[in-house]
Amino acid sequence: MTRMLTVGAAQLGPIARDETRADVVPRLLTLLHEGAAAGCELVVFPELALTTFFPRWYTDDIAGHDHFYETDMPSDETRPLFDAARQLGVGFALGYAELTADGHRYNTTVLVERDGAIVGTYRKTHIPGHEDNEPWRDFQHLERRYFEESPEGFHVWAAFGGRIGIATCNDRRWPETYREMGLQGVEMILIGYNTPIHYPPDPSQDRLQGFHNHLVMQAGAYQNGTWVVGVAKGGTEEGVVSLAESSIIAPSGEIVAQAATDGDELVVAEADLDRCAHYKDTVFDFDRYRRPEMYSRITSQKGAVT
C-alpha cells in the first residue's frame, strides 16, 4: 500500500529586527504558492517564523518585547495564510511566539489543515538557553526568559491522511520527544528550528552544528519509524549566523531532500506514510520488543545520579 503525502519544508532566510508581519507574511505566501505548484498538501514553516529571533536581545521588562508575540491566531496579519491554505488546498505548520490572554508566553506552532481549519497547536517543551543577561556572550539566547516550558507534552493528530506530530527546535535533540510521539503512532514529525552556528558555552560544538542537527533527526526518524521534516530559519540574521540545511527524512533515517541555500527555499518530497510500517512492524515493533518496566528512571528522575 502507499499513502502519499507531498510535503514542503519552507525554509526561511533572515528576518531583520525591524521587519514586520507585513514584510514576512508575503514571503510565507510565496512559499505556500510554490508548494501548491509543486503538489504539496502540507508546507512547514520554521520556529518563530513571523519575526526575527528576538530572544537574542535582553530586556529588563519582558513586556518590551510584546510586539514580537501573537495574541490571536489567526490575526488580521496572519489571516491571509489561512485564506490561501483554503483556496490552494495546502495546509501548513507555522511557528510563532504566543502571548495568551492570561499572560503566558509560549514558543508555539499551529497546524492548519488544507481547508484552513486549525488542527491543533503545540507549545515547545524543552526551552534552551538562559533566563538572565549574560553579557560575556557574543549574543544572548534568552528563550528561558521569554518562554515558559509547556506543561502539555507532545501530541499526535489524525490529519493529512496520517498521524502528524510537532516538535520545536531544541526538542529535536531529546530522544524522549520522538518516543513520546512514536508511542502515539506518529508518521510524520514537523520540526522548525533557529540554530545559531556559534554556541557560546562550548564553541567546540560550532563545527558540528550541521552534523548534530541531522544526527538527532535521522535517529529519531529511524528509531520510531516516522518521517521527520526539519525546517530552518537560516542565514545571517542581525549578525548571527544560523544553520540552514532543512531536510526531509524518511523512516529509514535517510535524508531524501535537503535545502541547497541558506535563504527562502522550498524543499519538497513525496512521503509515503505507509513506509513507516516497515519499521514499526519489524525492528521497532514496540509492543513486542520494548521493556518499559526497565525504563522507570526516564520519567522518575531528571538529572544523572552517579
| Binding piece for ligand CDT, criterion CB under 6 A, among 24-32, 68-76, 187-195, 281-289 | 187-195
Say how many C-beta atoms besides its own lie within 10 A of residue 236's C-beta: 12
Closest CA to 165 of 180, 150, 145: 180
- By residue count, the chain amounts to 306
Instruction: Give yes or no for a contact between 260 and 234, defined as CB atoms under 8 angstroms apart.
Output: no
If the CB atoms of residues 232 and 276 are measured against ligand CDT, the closer one turns out to be 232
If the CB atoms of residues 233 and 280 are measured against ligand CDT, the closer one turns out to be 233
If the CB atoms of residues 7 and 243 are measured against ligand CDT, the closer one turns out to be 243
- Kindly state whether residue 169 participates in binding ligand CDT, applying the rule CB under 6 A: yes
Number of residues interacting with ligand CDT: please give it, by CB under 6 A: 10
> Least distance from C-beta 146 to ligand CDT, angstroms?
11
- Kindly state whether residue 234 participates in binding ligand CDT, applying the rule CB under 6 A: no
Binding mask 190-229 for ligand CDT (x = CB under 6 A): ---xxx----------------------------------
Taking the C-alpha atoms of residue 244 and residue 263, their distance in angstroms, rounded to an integer, is 8
276 is known as an active-site residue: no
- Kindly state whether residue 233 participates in binding ligand CDT, applying the rule CB under 6 A: no
If the CB atoms of residues 191 and 221 are measured against ligand CDT, the closer one turns out to be 191
Cell of 260: 541547497
> Least distance from C-beta 194 to ligand CDT, angstroms?
4
124 is known as an active-site residue: yes
> Least distance from C-beta 120 to ligand CDT, angstroms?
21
Binding mask 110-149 for ligand CDT (x = CB under 6 A): ------------------xx-----------x--------
Which amino acid appears at position 82 of this protein?
A: F
Instruction: Give yes or no for a contact between 209 and 243, defined as CB atoms under 8 angstroms apart.
Output: yes
Sites for ligand CDT among residues 30-59 (CB under 6 A): 47
Per the listing, cell 533527526 goes with 217
> Least distance from C-beta 35 to ligand CDT, angstroms?
24
If the CB atoms of residues 200 and 253 are measured against ligand CDT, the closer one turns out to be 200
If the CB atoms of residues 121 and 213 are measured against ligand CDT, the closer one turns out to be 213
77 is known as an active-site residue: no
User: Pick from 109, 125, 170, 247: which binds ligand CDT (CB under 6 A)?
Assistant: 170
Instruction: Give yes or no for a contact between 233 and 15, defined as CB atoms under 8 angstroms apart.
Output: yes
- Kindly state whether residue 109 participates in binding ligand CDT, applying the rule CB under 6 A: no
Choose, from 70, 169, 187, 280, the residue flagged as catalytic: 169
- Kindly state whether residue 173 participates in binding ligand CDT, applying the rule CB under 6 A: yes
Q: Applying CB under 6 A, which residues contact ligand CDT?
A: 47, 128-129, 141, 169-170, 173, 193-195
Task: Return the active site residues.
Answer: 47, 124, 169
